[in-house]
Amino acid sequence: MIAMKFEEMKKIWDKQNQQPLYAINEEALHNRIRTKKQRAKHISGLSEVFIIIVNIVSAASILVATFLKSNGNGDIYSYLLAGLMAATAAFVFTGRLKRKKREHLFDRSMLGDLDHAISNATFQVRLSQIMRWYILPVGLLILLDIWQTLTQIWISVLIFLFIGFIWFAGRWEHQIYVKRKHELEVLRAKLTDGNNGS
């Protein structure tokens, strides 16, 4: 008879593939974890490079503009802002070096790759939180610098609103990273519970 019963098909499948029909494809799962690891690593790396470059260029631009505008006798807020930006670039660069050193500590297994992805996601969550708080002193220094020479109040109101927008956009971005980290932690919990239950 041409029509096979499901049980017969399952037996043939199991014999040909040496694995049960309902088994989790570990290789596919490991590839998915590797993809998540690379994504977390890529996002962290891009964020670091972007923050470092933007802060160095901004600090240099502020210093040059302040120096040229005032012949070396610039206002304190511009110099403080440039110093804060340069220090932030150095802080992020140091964090990048530490993160890169830790990359070789993880096993080349499925759980090792998952732990690596969680480590990168944790780093990204912390970095986004720090950068969100960083907006406040930068915004305050910008406003103080502008208020020294500004005669029209509406410009400072626009800048204040823009800084507020950046603050809330940073919160939204931070929540995305928190969610991704949580998804990785849930996956790890499921995998370790599944291994412990076997």
pLDDT, one tens digit per residue, over 7-22 is: 555 555 556 555 554 4
Domain ranges of the chain: 31-192
Residue 198 above 60 pLDDT?
A: no
Residue 179 has pLDDT above 50, yes or no: yes
pTM of the predicted model as reported, rounded to 2 decimal places: 0.74
Say how far apart CA 72 and CA 74 lie, in whole Å.
6
Q: Rounded mean pLDDT of 154-165?
A: 84
Q: What tokens appear for 74 in the block?
A: 């610039």
Q: What is the pLDDT of residue 68?
A: 80
1 three-state secondary structure: coil
pLDDT of 21:
46
pLDDT score for 2:
46
Distance CA 9, CA 4 (A): 7
Q: Which amino acid is at 168?
A: F
pLDDT bin (cut points 50, 70, 90) of residue 148 is: confident
Residue type at position 138? V
Q: Which long-range contacts (CB under 8 A, 24 or more apart) does 162-169 make?
A: 163/135, 163/139, 166/135, 166/139, 167/132, 167/135, 167/136, 167/139
- Across the range 67-71, mean pLDDT stands at 75
Tokens 């972007």 correspond to 50
Q: Poorest-confidence range of 17-21, 90-94, 105-109, 164-168?
A: 17-21
Q: How many CA atoms lie within 13 A of 90 on its CB side?
A: 7
Q: What is the pLDDT of residues 108-121, one digit of tens each?
A: 888 888 888 898 89
